[in-house]
Amino acid sequence: MNEDTRNGLLGAALIGLGCGLVAAGVAMVVPICTNWSLGLMEQAVKRGKDTLSSGVESAASLAGEMRGVAQRKFTEASKTARDKTAKVAGAVENAARHVREHAAS
């Protein structure tokens, strides 16, 4: 066998060995990358659930606080309305009495 043929076969063998090593490396890296990606997705989903549940809790507490504030405002408004109504009723009664007194005179 001459020198060029032997060098050509050796080069082809080294290229084949390199391709085999690349294939083996890819076969090892793909599962690791897949596992890593799935782990990141799982963490993101967990964080999303935690955020959602805390968001729901905070929304519920906010709704409760708003209900309490609204209840106080409505209570104050109804109390004010009753007081004003009583005052207006008294004024109307006084006016009616004055009208009756002046009409009778």
pLDDT in tens, 38-79: 888 888 878 777 766 666 667 677 677 777 777 787 788 778
**pTM for this structure?**
0.38
Confidence class for position 30, pLDDT limits 50, 70, 90: confident
Confidence at 98, pLDDT banded by 50, 70, 90: confident
Task: Calculate what percentage of the chain has a pLDDT beyond 70.
Answer: 87
To which residue do tokens 């294939």 refer? 23
| Alpha helices (H) along 1-105 | 3-104
pLDDT, residue 59, reads 66
